[in-house]
A and B are shown apart, each in its own frame.
Chain A
Amino acid sequence: MFRPKFSLMGESALLCDFASGRFDQKTQARLWSACSLLQSQDSVGNVVAGINNLLVSFDPLVTTPAAVEAAVCIAWEESDAVLTRGAEHEIEVDYGGPETDFGEVAATLSLSAREIVDLHVAPTYWVAAIGFIPGWGYLTGLDERLVLPRRSEPKTRVPSGSVLIASTLTAVMPLPSPSGWHVLGRTEQVLFSPDREPHCLLACGDRVRFREARP
């Protein structure tokens, strides 16, 4: 039976790492399925799907890490990788500008402004996971040439609507927040509404395309 890498995150949560190097789409789809199977179990609390990993909460006075590990392995075995095709979204972006890291990114990657925009709008991205802050979707499918590690120090405040990249992912900031990602541009699109359902614009399995705003 396949065993992910397990580590504790405090006494009440277990981090289950299913990754082997780079992000894998099939693994992610299978994790959503494993996530649902686990959530239906009494011994397990919240399950948060990250990028090729799961964070499983439990009460250590009711069950043990070993028992939770076993439950995770079983859920993985029983899971089904169905690459659901969710909703499709097109997000209009104003690239560059004084509040962005566009210049820095261009310099670091030795790309022109035009090349960065073209590389960012070309793919159809896929929502791999929801998390971090309300309405944040981790989007996979970023062009290899735009891959950059996170900033060495996070920025204290990145404005709402910021379009970001880091590592092999891209995302849109739904609310102002600190972040270690690089800002490429801004959008007016609303991603999270606390007052109406569905609260999040994006869901796992949705597709996203970016479009350059006309000047």
Chain B
Amino acid sequence: MTAAVEILESAPVTSVQDLGRPDYVALGVSLGGTMDRLAAQVSNAMVGNPNEAACLEVGGFPFRLRFHRRLKVALTGADCEALLNERPLPPWWTFQVHANDELALNLPIRGRYCYVALAGGIDIPPILGSRSTDMKTGIGGFDGRGLRPGDRLEVGSPGRGVPAGEFGVSLSYPLLPHQRMTRLRVLAAAEFDALTEDSRALFSRARWKVTSAFNRTGAKLDGARLSLIAPRDVLSYGVVPGLIQVPPLGRPIIQLAEANTCGGYPRIGTVIGPDLRLVAQTPAGGSVCFEVVDHARSTAALAEERTALATLKQSLFRATAA
């Protein structure tokens, strides 16, 4: 029997991802998983998948695939020109496909990653508890690598709660970063106070550029140089995605989904969880700025995001029941 999905055109930055591998961080295995977790979770919800279902994280365009079976599909994330057999699709949309239908995603006008979820989820054997592709190490996902033309993927059995019909979703919540400037909320980290007074001020006021040195592990920024009052040799410490480090030459690096589990450069701040997806969706050459917030605000942001997602799922559930 032919596999459900056939890749026609793809760049190596496109891969199978899910929620990652939290249980193996102690062995040095990156948490990994989707870069824009909100977009990925919404795409899964739109096809009645559980949160942990594997989907396609599309980071290179044009991306094309062919379906070999009737399936329910959802597309979220970056604002790309999406065509189903030449028919344009609205953004954040779920739709039915039939055997021989083709989906084409073209270069986004906004954002960097699109998420394609299939009812039933991508069916590949989990490695170390997850179907995520760890690109650094070649562990997990489809053969431990990004997708290529000719790759064929199987899909699992859909759950019973697959929302019927074709429709889109929106959240009372920005889905992508602002076009001109990605504003990132940050909590000060261990070496923030070790920055010079000028650097501390610069951190919040400067505009940084996302360079082409950007991948699932991290994003190198260009712009002003930050300096510590005195050079510091920091003993290696555990790392979470979102951590902003400053190596001695002064330009910040933001750790992302496939961050190494430990690091040793000075820690200036951490992008809050709900804003990680905004880093992920900022294209090369895009601008970011940092806003230092306190723990109360960051917790409120997390609560807001969880509520938005829960509310959406409830309304989708009602759509299924109807």
Contact B235 A61 (CB under 8 A): no
Tell yes or no: A102 within 8 A of B by CB. no
Contacts A55-B237, A153-B249; A177 near B260 (Cβ below 8 A): yes
Tell yes or no: B214 within 8 A of A by CB. no
Chain A interface bracket (under 10, 10 to 19, 20 to 34, 35 or more): 35 or more
Instruction: List A residues 46-90 near B (Cβ within 8 Å).
Output: 46-55, 57, 60-61, 65
Tell yes or no: B11 within 8 A of A by CB. no
Contact B247 A180 (CB under 8 A): yes
Contacts A50-B238, A130-B26; A8 near B127 (Cβ below 8 A): no
- A contact residues around B302 at 8 Å (CB): 11-12, 60-61
- A contact residues around B235 at 8 Å (CB): 19, 23, 50-53, 167
Tell yes or no: B40 within 8 A of A by CB. no
- A contact residues around B303 at 8 Å (CB): 61
Contact A61 B299 (CB under 8 A): yes
Contact A61 B306 (CB under 8 A): yes
Tell yes or no: A15 within 8 A of B by CB. yes
Q: How many A-B contacts if CB must be within 8 Å?
A: 167
Separation of A65 and B299 alpha carbons in the complex (Å): 11
Tell yes or no: B174 within 8 A of A by CB. no
Tell yes or no: A199 within 8 A of B by CB. yes
Instruction: List A residues 126-148 near B (Cβ within 8 Å).
Output: 129-136, 138
Tell yes or no: B168 within 8 A of A by CB. no
Tell yes or no: B172 within 8 A of A by CB. no
**Shortest beta-carbon distance, B255 to chain A, in Å?**
10
**Shortest beta-carbon distance, B299 to chain A, in Å?**
4
Contact A9 B243 (CB under 8 A): yes
Tell yes or no: B190 within 8 A of A by CB. yes
Separation of A159 and B138 alpha carbons in the complex (Å): 14
Contact A153 B263 (CB under 8 A): no
Q: Which of B58-66, B264-272, B314-322 contacts A (4 or more CB under 8 A)?
A: B264-272
Pick the contact of A46: B25, B271, B272 (CB < 8 A): B25
- A contact residues around B236 at 8 Å (CB): 50-51, 129, 131-132, 138, 169
Residue ranges of B at the interface with A (Cβ–Cβ < 8 Å): 22, 24-30, 127-128, 136-140, 187-190, 217, 231, 233, 235-240, 242-243, 247-249, 260-265, 267, 270-273, 295, 298-299, 301-303, 306
A-B contact pairs, 24 of them (CB 8 A): A5-B190, A9-B190, A9-B239, A9-B243, A10-B242, A11-B272, A13-B240, A19-B235, A46-B25, A50-B262, A57-B240, A60-B298, A130-B27, A132-B28, A132-B236, A132-B260, A133-B261, A138-B236, A149-B233, A167-B235, A177-B260, A194-B137, A199-B27, A200-B28
